[in-house]
Amino acid sequence: MWNSVDGTLAVLDTTGTTFSTTLVGMVPVGQGALGIAVPPDSAHVYVANATDGTVSVIDATRSRRILFPVAANPQGVAIAPNAKHVYVAHGAPTSALHVVDPANPGTDQISIPALDGRVGDAG
């Protein structure tokens, strides 16, 4: 779980036969953590950091962090069902979606239009 106030992520061990957790370590993430995603293998944790425009990739087994830049104001992060892509959604003014290959965190940007909330599609 992450703490957006002090910019850290708690690494917890949930293995065992009873429902309990053990704190393994605290890992710093970027500033303004807003979104978090964990793939099915739980080997890495992805955190969208809105304030500094980055995504933190945490190696959950080693409690280490890789930080890579994305467009301004990342608000959320999600992982494809096959875990081959990580999607980073950005709020205004960027209004973009980054598709990230976890094996190579260089990003490709897909622009999407910003919606102001007053106009919709009633279909």
For position 64, which CATH number holds? 2.120.10.30
Confidence band, pLDDT 50/70/90 cuts, at residue 19: low
Instruction: Give the domain extent around 60.
Output: 2-13+24-111
120 domain-assigned: no
Question: Which residues are registered as beta bridge partners of 48?
Answer: 35, 55
Q: Into how many domains does the chain fold?
A: 1
Number of helices (H), then strands (E), belonging to the chain: the values are 0, 11
Q: What is the mean pLDDT of residues 15-28?
A: 74
Helix or strand or coil: residue 62? Answer: coil
Whole-number pLDDT of residue 1 = 65
Of residues 99, 75, 76, the one with CA closest to residue 87: 99
What number is the average pLDDT over the span 40-57?
A: 87
First-residue to last-residue Cα distance in the chain? 38
pTM for this model (two decimals)? 0.76
